Amino acid sequence: MSITGTTTILGLIADPVARARSPAMANALLERWGLDGAWILVPMHVAANGLVDCVAALRHLRNFGGAIVSMPHKTAIVELLDELTPDARLVGAVNVIRRHADGRLAGTILDGEGFVGGLLREGHRVAGAHCLLAGAGGAASAVAFALARHGCATLCIVNRTRAKADELAVRVGRAFPAVRVTTDETSTDRIDIAVNGTSLGMQPDDALPLSESAIARSSLVAECVVAPERTRLLEAAQQLGAAVHTGVPMLEAQLEMLLRFMGVNA
């Protein structure tokens, strides 16, 4: 790869970034497209208290094209941007930004469509499915709206802070009234797809994001965590007899969309 003065810089804004898979995967895709050297995606380790300054600085970086936005910044970055797509406004979160020539920053959210796309690529069915989702943050919200958009029959949202789950359930139910949305895990005996939309699983000593009872009732347990690929949740699900789906297909399904939003033309 030849980096020159004309190389456009893309980034991954996250905390932590050490185990992130998207830089390697994105640069490999750029190489396959014959664009390595013209574009490069680098990790940007930004703590929560540095996000405002980071975004302000990126406005002035004229060879900056855009960035993937990962945990824990997907909701906090929304108010720092100039433009949001309708999906980003609906979800209230962003996972990719693009810099315009005048320094304005635009954002959208592709996590939900990436997650569902990953499921469909692996042969799983969302339409008519009974789903359980752990989390109510940026990634989880995107997944919730995408599952509803693709026709799941029911969606139960559980979260450590019940009020956030209730608020998300109201928003999803308002947007997709045909889907029965609840926040009571005991209200369903059948779980076709259980999803971890939280960051739990990134650290080896993290608690399980779903109860063992819910895991045992699930036909398929799916992750949004990408690194590590095999989380404690997936190991527990396999031990309890459920099929598992890692977070990698979610990233693979949306990677081309992320690069195109940032301005890359293959």
For the annotated catalytic residues, the residue numbers are 74
- The answer to whether residues 48 and 26 touch, using CB atoms and an 8 Å cutoff, is no
Q: Which two tokens stand for residue 87?
A: 């999906």
Pairing mode, strands 96-99 and 105-108: antiparallel
Residue reference for tokens 């293959």: 266
Among residues 227, 223, 229, the alpha carbon closest in space to that of 243 is found at 223
Phi, psi of 203 (to 5 degrees): -110, 145
From the CB of residue 200, how many other CB atoms can be counted at a distance below 10 Å? Answer: 19
Query: Can you tell me whether residue 233 is helix, strand or coil?
Result: helix
Any alpha helices (H) in the chain, and if so which ranges?
Answer: 22-32, 51-59, 86-91, 111-121, 138-149, 162-175, 212-216, 232-239, 248-261
Beta bridge partners of 54: none
64-69 and 130-134 as β-strands: parallel, antiparallel, unpaired?
A: unpaired
Q: If you count them, how many residues does the chain have? A: 266
Q: Give Cα 35 to chain centroid, integer Å.
A: 25
Q: Which element (helix H / strand E) includes 6?
A: none
The residues facing 64 across adjacent strands are 9
